[in-house]
Amino acid sequence: MTSIQIAPSILSADFCNLERDLKAIANADLVHVDVMDHHFVPNLTLGEPIVKRICEVTDLPVDVHLMIEDPDRWAPEFAKAGAYSVTFHMGATHAPVRLARQLHDMGVRACFAVRPAEPVEPIFDILEEFDMILVMTVEPGFGGQKFLGNQMAKVRRLRDEITRRGLDTKIQVDGGVSPTTAHIVAEAGADVLVAGSAVYGAEDPAKAIDQIRDNAQA
Ligand code: DX5
Ligand code: ZN
């Protein structure tokens, strides 16, 4: 089994001290950037110019999570901004395979996301097109929500399918991940754990990252 990766979400960072807060998570594996548009979700965050600066300032790979309408139009712009991976939602895209291939042509990893009420089985037919599948464990839009443990059945079905077909598609879990829930998502088969409030709400973000990693691998 490959080791668990931790991706702190800067949604819970201080947007007026982003550089400081990026330095505070240097022991993470990725930095998770939530892009929201006031349409796909009822919240608004940041766009390509800020993602570009984050990519310039941090040494970590930047994992962009698009919670926006029309990712078919906008996802390539985030690839151009320097993202390591770009995630778009099942409920927002019209042509997921075409978009994944476009991102790959740009040298960027493509990731497909499902909301809590969306099934994962429709992705099985196009699993090979993606580097990672994101299973949301909260309704997208806000940090600090309660972890939805009932999504673990979905993670398990996905893990079984990936294993059965011998793929190396990663599984990411996002929402309510903390030192307490880390072992639950890891046991279900997740590889990449996103954590916002559990990292930036902690007194020592780097320590919180280590705790999540240790608990996930315990
Ligand atoms: C929610 C975002 C998450 C959010 C997670 O829509 O996609 O990345 O920052 O925050 P926590 O870890 O606080 O649930
Ligand atoms: Zn996210």
d(C-alpha 174, C-alpha 105), whole Å? 26
Is 141's C-beta closer than 6 angstroms to any atom of ligand 1? yes
Q: What is the pLDDT of residues 124-165, one digit of tens each?
A: 999 999 999 999 999 999 999 999 999 999 999 999 999 999
Q: Taking ligand 2, which is a single-atom ion, which protein residues have CB atoms under 5 Å away?
A: 34, 65, 174
The DSSP letter of residue 106 is T
Segment holding 194, helix H or strand E:
strand 192-195
Neighbours of 3 (CB within 10 A): 9
Strands (E), 71-146: 85-89, 109-114, 132-136
pLDDT (0 to 100) of residue 153: 98
The pLDDT tens digits for 23-75 are 999 999 999 999 999 999 999 999 999 999 999 999 999 999 999 999 999 99
CATH number reported for the structural domain that contains residue 32 in this entry: 3.20.20.70
Q: What is the rounded distance in angstroms from the CA atom of residue 165 to the CA atom of residue 129?
A: 13
Mutation probe of ligand 1 site: the residue of 194, 209, 211, 212 with most atoms within 8 A of C-beta? 194
Complex ipTM > 0.90 = yes
Q: Which range of residues forms the domain containing residue 193?
A: 5-217
Distance of CA 154 to the CA centre of its chain: 16
| Structural domains counted in the chain | 1
Task: Considering every ligand atom shown, identify the ligand nearest to the alpha carbon of residue 182 and give its number.
Answer: 1
**pTM of structure:** 0.98
Chain centroid to CA 196: how far? Answer: 11
What beta strand segments (E) does the chain contain? 5-8, 31-36, 62-67, 85-89, 109-114, 132-136, 170-174, 192-195
Give dist(CA 37, CA 47) in Å, integer.
Answer: 9
Ligand 1 site, residue 65, Cβ cutoff 6 A: yes
